[in-house]
Amino acid sequence: MNKTAKPAVFRNEPFTDFSQEPGKRAMQEAIAKVKSELGREYPLRIGGELIFTEDKICSFNPGQTGETIGWVSKADRVLAEKAMQTALETFESWKKTAAQTRAEILLKAAAIMQERKHEFSALMVLEAGKNYAEADADTAEAIDFLNFYAREMIRLSEINETMPLTPVAGEENRLTYIPLGVGVIIPPWNFPLAICAGMTSAAIVAGNTVLLKPASNTSVIAAKFAALMEEAGLPAGVLNFVPGSGAEVGDYLTTHPQTRFISFTGSKEVGLHINKLAAGVAPGQLWIKRVVAEMGGKDGIVVDETADLDAAAQAIVTSAFGYQGQKCSAGSRAFIVEAVYDEVVKKVVELTRRLTIGLPEHNFPIGPVIDESSYRKVLKYIQIGKQEGELLTGGRQAEVTGAQGFYIEPAVFAGVSGKARIMQEEIFGPVLAIGKAQDWREAVRLFNDTEFGLTGAFFSRDEDRISEALETMHCGNLYVNRKCTGALVGGHPFGGFNMSGTDSKAGGYDYLLLFTQAKLTSRKK
């Protein structure tokens, strides 16, 4: 492999400092602009055609439920089939498009998004219920994904030309990575721009065409992203935007004989359902469908008696309650050795009680959960938690002056058994369970006692313990002496073990290979 084919140095998009007036003012102006556009209708995008349907998804503000963000046209199976046929036809030309050309479109999209960064972030503040910093990080990550996958596609195209195979006398041999075909992209609502952009751009820059079926809760953000890609020069039919019901459109496309791959991020239950459907072979299907899935987690932080306890407590609170705990990487569990257990628990409770709750557009640390279903689920788990541990703070429905939304006080439970439901089941809300361990090895064992394996963190000053924990803590992304959320593109390839998914490592240097297949050609000299 030549030097130009090595991974390039990648710089992440910097975050905005909202403690300073320029950053705060820019976001407030962007929120005002987005509010002036509320209630608009958004079409499907199939080929070059914009299609408005009678049946629509109503997207609303979870922090102010009477505020409609927009109306997004809804696909049915007929329109899904139309999109599939369009994608199949477009694939024949798109797969022949030079990798450099495909990459340049992503780079242009990243540049456009950078220019409108605060507008995308403001939309997430209103549609997804994120505060300024969470929304800003989401947009920054989307820009990073576009830039990273563009550069990575260029590198892979160079590898196609320089792959060092073992020489065979009398033959000219070459290994190339070629696109798969038509894929279905099913992103989540909790990172509605970053993960949507990352999943979609990775597939298309590798030469595939896609059908994008976004989460209904954040379908306006996805519609804006689809429009941006067209503005950046993506040919019609490469990205087909087909919001719709999971049971109707999602299942139909997953089982379609022409679907080559499904890229999914969401819950374990839906991911397993997709995997099961994709494993079936429909009449006329010529391949085993590839499933790329990231399915959630029950992540935790382990703290031993040598750790910086203030840093550990802050990391526990940030990991548990950032974006109301609605992250697959959220640290919803903490295991603390008994020697410092009481001290760390006291610090965690004090930090949690300082968190204020309110409208995301006013930039409160804690906002709403995403919808009524999530709201009821979290409150149900809090009632379960009261039977499994001691509720030290929070856990009540929160009243926010001037707002009607799905607000819940961050809940901290202590004295929770490792086998308790709130220790084992993904809640996806502002609920933290804390357990006591006799020593750090027992804490690691408790951490590993879960069907998930996405992220984790280990707090210690003992290098021997750190070395052992790095080997024994079983998760896809393990951090030492820092929070277990906040993976950076290129620096922290992201994906988990066990029921957390296929460990596909989004933002990593092998991710694009998942959307390609290797072809060996051999020619006699």
From the CB of residue 425, how many other CB atoms can be counted at a distance below 10 Å?
16
CA dihedral sign, ordered 316, 192, 204, 516: positive
Percent of the chain topping pLDDT 70: 98
> What is the radius of gyration, based on Cα positions, of the chain?
23
Q: What pLDDT was estimated at residue 11?
A: 81
Looking at domain 26-295+503-524, its CATH class is alpha beta
Maximum separation of any 2 CA atoms in the chain, in Å: 79
* Token pair listed for 79: 């329109």
From the CB of residue 162, how many other CB atoms can be counted at a distance below 10 Å?
12
Where would I find the H helices in 255-337? 268-279, 309-321
Task: Provide, for the chain, the percentages of residues in helix, strand and coil under a 3-state DSSP scheme, each rounded to the nearest 5.
Answer: 45, 20, 35
Active-site residues: which are they?
294, 328
Q: What pLDDT was estimated at residue 6?
A: 61
Q: What pLDDT was estimated at residue 164?
A: 82
Q: What pLDDT was estimated at residue 5?
A: 53
Average pLDDT over residues 21-25: 96
Q: Please determine, for residue 133, whether its predicted confidence score (pLDDT) is greater than 90.
A: yes
Q: Please determine, for residue 100, whether its predicted confidence score (pLDDT) is greater than 90.
A: yes
Average pLDDT over residues 88-116: 98
Chain segment 73-89, per-residue pLDDT in tens: 999 999 999 999 999 99
Give the start-to-end residue ranges of the domains of the chain: 26-295+503-524, 300-480
Q: What pLDDT was estimated at residue 1?
A: 37
Q: What pLDDT was estimated at residue 3?
A: 42
Beta-bridged to residue 211, according to DSSP, are: 184, 240
Are the beta carbons of 193 and 219 closer than 8 angstroms?
no
Are the beta carbons of 432 and 413 closer than 8 angstroms?
yes
- Residue 500 has, within 13 A of its CA and on its CB side, a CA count of 28
402, amino acid identity: G
Chain segment 470-513, per-residue pLDDT in tens: 999 999 999 999 999 999 999 999 999 999 999 999 999 999 99
CA 186 to chain CA centroid, Å, is: 11
Alpha-carbon gap, residue 483 to 327, rounded angstroms: 13
Average pLDDT over residues 141-152: 98
Alpha-carbon gap, residue 199 to 206, rounded angstroms: 11
Average pLDDT over residues 60-85: 98
Confidence class of residue 4 from pLDDT cuts 50, 70 and 90? Answer: very low
The residues, any chain, with a CB within 8 Å of residue 276's CB and separated by 6 or more, are none
Q: 């066990």: which residue's tokens?
A: 498
Q: What pLDDT was estimated at residue 485?
A: 98
Looking at domain 300-480, its CATH class is alpha beta
Alpha-carbon gap, residue 96 to 269, rounded angstroms: 37
By mean pLDDT, which of 108-122, 165-179, 466-480, 493-507 is the weakest? Answer: 165-179
Mean pLDDT of the chain: 96
Confidence class of residue 8 from pLDDT cuts 50, 70 and 90? Answer: low
Q: State residue 24 phi and psi, 5-degree precision.
A: -65, -45
Alpha-carbon gap, residue 62 to 220, rounded angstroms: 14
Chain segment 373-409, per-residue pLDDT in tens: 999 999 999 999 999 999 999 999 999 999 999 999 9
Task: Look at residues 333, 365, 336 and name the one whose alpha carbon lies nearest to residue 352.
Answer: 365
Helix, strand or coil for residue 132?
Answer: helix
Q: Please determine, for residue 449, whether its predicted confidence score (pLDDT) is greater than 80.
A: yes
Percent of the chain topping pLDDT 90: 95
Chain segment 408-432, per-residue pLDDT in tens: 999 999 999 999 999 999 999 999 9
Transcribe 209-227 into DSSP letters: EEEE---GGGHHHHHHHHH
Average pLDDT over residues 100-106: 98
CA 62 to chain CA centroid, Å, is: 19
Q: What pLDDT was estimated at residue 2?
A: 41
Average pLDDT over residues 228-237: 98
